[in-house]
Amino acid sequence: MNKIYFILILFSMIGMPSYAQIPEKPEDISPLLNGENIPEATLLAPEGSKQVLSSLLAVKPSILLFYRGGWCPYCNAHLSEIQNVEDEILKLGYQILAISPDSPENLKQTTVKDNLNYSLYSDADGILIKAIGIAYKAPSKYADMLKKSSGGYNEGFLPVPAVFVVDTSGKILFEYINPDYSTRLSSGLLLAILKEIKIN
C-alpha cells in the first residue's frame, strides 16, 4: 500500500507543469551556486540538431551566457560586447556558449544581426533554464511574443540574464546573475575574472 501511494505521489509530481514551480519575480529566483554542477540538458543548435550539453562542455572550459532572446536590445548589446573580446577569451582557453528560449530559426537571425562567431543554442521549453534556477514567470504582455520567438514552446517564462564560468565537468567556477536585465557583466570584468580562475 505504501509503495502504491509513493508511486502515485511521484507521478503526480512528474505531471505538474514546471512553470508552476518558478517564481513570480526575477528577484525571487534560487540559482545554482559556485561549486555546483550545471545539470544535463539537450539543446538545439541553429540548424536544428540536438546537442547534449555535457558533451559541449567537455570540449573545454566554458562561458555560458544565458540571455532573454534576440528581441531584447540589452541582450543583443551584451552578446556583441562579448563578441568583441572573443579572441582574448579563446586565448585564455575558454569557449563561449550562449543559450536562450529562442527557436533555432531566431538563433540564426541573432547570429547574423549581431555578427557573432560563437555558438548559440535554443532551450525553448526552458528545461535547462528552470533546472539552473534562473527562470521566472514572464509578465503577461510578453506571452504571445515569447511563444512566437520560441517556436511555440515557451509557455510564459523568462531567464534572468546570467553568466556562468564552468569547467569541463560542468562545475560552476564563477557566476554573475542580476535580476535587473539592463545591467550586465562587462567584457572587461569577465576577462579579469577569467585570468584569475585556474583551469586545468
What would the pLDDT profile of 155-168 be if each residue is shown by its tens digit? 999 999 999 999 99
Kindly tell me the number of DSSP H helices and DSSP E strands found in the chain. 8, 9
* Dihedral of the alpha carbons of 56, 59, 62, 68, in degrees to the nearest 10: -20
Q: Which fold has domain 22-196?
A: Glutaredoxin (3.40.30)
Domain residue spans of the chain? 22-196
- The whole-model pTM stands at 0.89
- Give residue-wise pLDDT tens across range 3-62: 443 333 333 333 333 444 899 999 999 999 999 999 999 999 999 999 999 999 999 999
- Residue 1 is placed in which grid cell? 500500500
DSSP string of 86-110?
HHHHHHTT-EEEEEES--HHHHHHH
User: Nearest Cα to 21, choosing from 123, 122, 131?
Assistant: 131
